[in-house]
Amino acid sequence: MATAVPVERDAVARSLPGPPREIPLPGVTLHRAGAWDLVAAGVGPALAAASTATALTAAALDGHPYGLVVSAGIGGGFAPGAPVGSLVVADEITAADLGAETADGFLPVTELGFGTVTHRPPAALVRLVAGATGARPGTVLTGSTVTGTAGRAESLRARHPRALAEAMEGFGVAEAAAAHGLPVLELRAISNPVGPRDRAAWRIGDALAALTDGFGKLAPVLTSWNPHDPHDPHDPHDH
């Protein structure tokens, strides 16, 4: 299953065989295209988590659970690693603003003694996707507020030096997938630099074209990926 907002869902659907069919579920509409189910999960981590969880639960109750959840869409890129028009595949999906502000700076929720702030997609799958699509692997940050200043961009880079991209849904999707015991993947096409808000610098059309092309190359990879492969020495889950 893949999750996105409507315009991103349509970009993904264009790369898949056959026209999508609408399948209504309580609170969400699922679009079936070939072997994929696509959900326009909505903007922000909360709605993305709720929409994804709805689809996952419905499939499980129907006796046909999913094997993988993919969060796909466009996002901001951190220069110079992720220029506009490039692809990023998350090897870490991290909530950038889940925690508390203190006099000494931001504390992630994990340092407050509960919760999690990072989900890690299967390392072997990330390598396969990177090889097939040309996407650069790295941390993709999830925030409820899009960065619009140089100061916030610098703060995020200081806290997350491996960050390549920023979006608004991946962590919510990953939380829903984790609740169902499912692996998750996040693929982002870069539409704008992370930093001062400058709509003239956005290249949404270019990013959607890159997403369409990237997802078309991604789909065959997933048919060859075996989630039950033996121990992967590079997978952080195995250490």
Predicted confidence (pLDDT) at residue 164 exceeds the cutoff of 70: yes
Of 232 and 226, the structure prediction assigns the larger pLDDT to 226
| Rounded Cα distance, 121 and 232, in Å | 13
Q: How far is CA 198 from CA 88, 118, 191, in A?
A: 21, 29, 12
Mean pLDDT of the chain: 87
Q: What's the per-residue H, E or C state across the chain? A: CEEECHHHHHHHHHCCCCCCEEEEECCEEEEEECCEEEEECCCCHHHHHHHHHHHHHHHHHCCCCCCCEEEEEEEEECCCCCCCCCEEEEEEEEECCCEEEECCEEEEHHHHCCCCCEECCCHHHHHHHHHHHCCEEEEEEECCCCCCCHHHHHHHHHHCCCEEEEECCHHHHHHHHHHCCCCEEEEEEEEEECCCCCHHHCCHHHHHHHHHHHHHHHHHHHHHCCCCCCCCCCCHHHC
Of 145 and 182, the structure prediction assigns the larger pLDDT to 182
Which of 39-43, 83-87, 105-109, 163-167 has the lowest average pLDDT?
A: 105-109
Threshold 0.75, pTM exceeds: yes
Q: Write down the pLDDT at residue 129.
A: 95
Q: How far is CA 43 from CA 64, 96, 145, 171, 227, in A?
A: 27, 16, 11, 12, 29
| Rounded Cα distance, 180 and 197, in Å | 37
| Rounded Cα distance, 84 and 93, in Å | 20
Largest CA distance in the chain: 55
Q: What angle do CA 141, 142, 143 make, to 5 degrees?
A: 120
Predicted confidence (pLDDT) at residue 34 exceeds the cutoff of 80: no
109 pLDDT tier (thresholds 50, 70, 90): confident
Q: How far is CA 144 from CA 42, 76, 96, 204, in A?
A: 12, 13, 9, 20
Single-letter amino acid, residue 29: T
Q: How far is CA 34 from CA 41, 73, 163, 187, in A?
A: 19, 19, 33, 19
Single-letter amino acid, residue 7: V
| Rounded Cα distance, 29 and 16, in Å | 18
71 pLDDT tier (thresholds 50, 70, 90): very high
Per-residue pLDDT reduced to its tens digit, 169-222? 999 999 999 999 999 999 999 999 998 888 888 899 899 999 999 998 988 898
Share of the chain above pLDDT 70, in %: 95
In the predicted model, what is the mean pLDDT of residues 6-31?
Answer: 82
Predicted confidence (pLDDT) at residue 233 exceeds the cutoff of 50: no
Q: Write down the pLDDT at residue 239.
A: 36
